Amino acid sequence: MLNNTTDAVTIATEAFLRDELAKATLRVGQLEEAHSKAVQRSTQTQIDLTKTQNALRDWTRDQLKDEEITETQARDLSRIGDFTLSQNYDVTMTVEHTFTVCVEAGQDIEDILQGISFSTESYDAELMNDDTNVVDSNWDEVEY
């Protein structure tokens, strides 16, 4: 039995708060489940969109290659489908380049030349000059 009104209010308030906490916890769970489903739908939609874009891109490239559509039509399709028509190529080039090597007295030029090695990882306009000639080149189309 309750001794006074304060005890009744305290018990009622605790019960009310427990009930509200249970409702809030349930609602948070429902919202988390709804969010998870929305993320799954969004992910699946993105996957479907990417598949559609890739199929449209491949079809457009084939049609362009077979001259079934014009370049203007292909560009319009690429803008509509939000894809690029550019091709990727791995290019290997052999370049003959003339440069000056300073050899000190008593050193052999052959020894110096055997120790020289370099590679160019990116195109550098300063590297290309009148003394540079392309000796050989080949390429392979690369799909990304």
- pLDDT value of position 144: 41
Average pLDDT over residues 13-39: 91
CB 71 within 8 A of CB 86: no
**Cα first-last separation, the chain:** 77
**Using a CB cutoff of 8 Å and minimum separation of 24, what contacts does 8-12 make?**
none
84 three-class SS: coil
The residue-averaged pLDDT of 30-44 equals 92
Overall average pLDDT of the 99-115 stretch: 79
Residues 61-82, mean pLDDT to the nearest whole number: 93
pLDDT at 71 over 60: yes
Domain boundaries, the chain: 5-81, 88-142
